[in-house]
Amino acid sequence: MVSFPRTFSVPPVFALREVPLVWVIDRLEGDWAVCENARRQTRDVPLVELPAGAKPGDVLRHGKDGYRLDPSETLRRQKEVEALTKDLWA
């Protein structure tokens, strides 16, 4: 028979840390940006809330300080798409 201790330590709750939400600008519609996340949920964001120069395909991170561009993640995703489509058009 297996016995368990009456008390044990619980690891820290990782959910308490703020994890920025990642959104990709799908398209611009008037004064709004239609953004999509990994769960394919969409959100309409006023352009005035986005960093200057934001365009479709850009990756945004949303945190306490609002939206900010993530150029390295945008570039990584662009290269991934190029690699996937390379064989289609060759």
What strand order describes the sheet that includes 66-69? 42-46, 32-36, 21-29, 59-63, 66-69
Instruction: State the pTM of this model.
Output: 0.73
The domain made up of 19-85 has a fold known as SH3 type barrels. (2.30.30)
Quick check: helix, strand or coil at residue 49? helix
* Residue spans of alpha helices (H) in 1-90: 71-89
Give the confidence band of 15 by pLDDT, cuts at 50, 70, 90: very low
Q: Are 59 and 43 in contact (CB under 8 A)?
A: no
pLDDT reported for residue 6 = 53
Provide the residue type at 86 as one letter. Answer: K
